[in-house]
Structure 1
Amino acid sequence: THQMKKLTVADLKDFRDYLRIPITDEQLDADPYAPPYYHPGADAPEIKYLHERRAALGGSVPERRNAAAAVDLPAAATFDVAKRGSGKQQAATTMAFVRLLKDLIRDKAFGHRIVPIVPDESRTFGMDAFFPTAKIYNPKG
């Protein structure tokens, strides 16, 4: 059962016999909690098969190959309004964010990477002007 934590020596011997692993009873009885490691040898058919499969799959360890193209960042001028600030008057962070987001969306090389998903507070944040141009997702249409 899955609740069984350790194999008994008899279970270990049955397992060994079923798999035809050439380990003697004496080796198993010597330390039943640390049975000897068995390797069939480099010329064994199962080892050859494993090596062939590894070679066919491109190596023994999965490797992430990054084939993504570099992202063209917006021009520095896109951030000029945000850098300039609001003068003497304090600006709300949401207003500054919405203005910057609007400029980023309008950027030809970068704008298509931005997909605003606003669940319900877009009008409160002044984002209602984005609806027709940015195609903001709205679950109710």
Structure 2
Amino acid sequence: MGMLASLISGLASGETIAAVQRVRVAAIVYSVAALAALCGLGFLVGAACIWAAARYGPMAACLSFGIGFLAIAGLILLVYRMSAGSRARRRAKRRNADMKAIGITAALAVLPALLKGKGGLAKGGLGAILGPAIALAAYAIYRENVKRGSDDPDTGKRE
């Protein structure tokens, strides 16, 4: 309840509106700065191309700049593809951690209702708690012992 009161008081005092305005102004300033930096970079590339055209000839300069930018693009794509496996593993780890947290939270949320006298353990018995706990333990043992390979959904790789 304290969090809700803090949120309501923040809204009432105008802090939230001021924070949103600060974020909006910062986003606009950073966008304009990035646009100016891109324009500056474009002029530097143009100047380098003009300098290379004066030194080596227009055709050689244009070809070398074109090949250079294509090589940079290929290198970026190659690095991205090579790092895809580590990103997939990181996403799978995060997904597993999130699912465990959701499961624990759900179990803790249901536990008081199960422990109550009416409709709780008196009705469902101890199996209402032990059944899912045993299933979770069995699944954890299974996941620990499964081979990493083509059937592994976490890596996303097919071998």
The interval holding the TM-score normalised by the smaller chain is: under 0.3
Q: How high is the TM-score relative to the length of structure 1?
A: 0.27
Q: How high is the TM-score relative to the length of structure 2?
A: 0.25
Query: Whose Rg is larger?
Result: 1
**Bigger relative contact order, structure 1 or 2 (CA pairs below 8 A, ≥6 apart):** 2
Structure with the larger helix share:
2
